[in-house]
Amino acid sequence: MSIIPILFRDSFMDDFMRPSIMEKSLFDDEFPANLLVANIPTRRGPKRRRCTCVTENQQNNAVQKKSRESFEVSIDVQNFKPEEISVKMVDNYITVEGKHEEKQDEEGFVSRHFVRKYRLPEGHDLEKVASSLSSDGVLTIRAPRLALPEVPAKERTIPIVRTEQIAEDEPKSQKTAD
């Protein structure tokens, strides 16, 4: 019996036994940006393990930021023309939709459609929600915080009420005599 099949068994069979990248990506919510990169560990050890170069936020193509001044969402929509994108506001929800019909790219024909909904947090101005599209295809939606009404400074004197009771919590050294 030869020892060579035993030595090469793991590395040879790994490529045939694991699911293909195409099968894995067909059932994902979004088709991955790069089909050649997969995060499927092999039995060959850590030095041969594949890893993705795309972070989860980049794969989802959306970044959501909340700050003291505003609520902001940035979405990568570079595959869509401006007329193929719509932003709508219903109650406290912002809906972003992008859709284009089948067109040819470098790998064949593709049609894309996405819908994203974001709940606008309390305390943001629904009337001042604005969106902008950058030249590199990033759609940014901003909602500023509601401005607190300016209350004019009122000066008020607070009366001091004298009681005949002794403050029990204070140490004796801090008490003052009348």
Per residue in 56-84, pLDDT tens?
444 456 777 767 778 899 999 888 888 99
According to CATH, where is 2.60.40.790 located in the chain?
Answer: 61-146
CATH class, domain 61-146, is mainly beta
CA 101 to centroid of chain Cα atoms: 27
- Tell me the pairing of strands 93-105 and 70-76: unpaired
> Mind listing the pLDDT tens digit for each residue in 80-126?
888 999 999 998 899 999 998 888 878 888 888 999 999 988 888 88
The set of long-range contacts for 117-121, using a CB threshold of 8 Å and a minimum separation of 24, is 117/93, 118/64, 118/73, 118/93, 118/94, 119/92, 119/93, 120/71, 120/92, 120/93, 120/94, 121/66, 121/71
Burial string for 93-131 (b: 16+ CB within 10 Å, else e) reads ebebebeeeeeeeeeeeeebebebebebeeebeeeebeb
100 belongs to an annotated ligand binding site: yes
Please tell me what DSSP assigns to residue 130.
E
Is 124 one of the annotated binding-site residues?
no
CA–CA dist 59, 57 (Å, integer): 5
Total-model pTM:
0.49
Give the confidence band of 148 by pLDDT, cuts at 50, 70, 90. confident
CB of 81 closer than 8 Å to CB of 66: no
Higher pLDDT, residue 52 or 41: 41
Task: Dig out the tokens for 120 from the structure.
Answer: 């606008």
- Give 30 or 131, the one with higher predicted confidence: 131
Q: How much is the pLDDT for 28?
A: 45
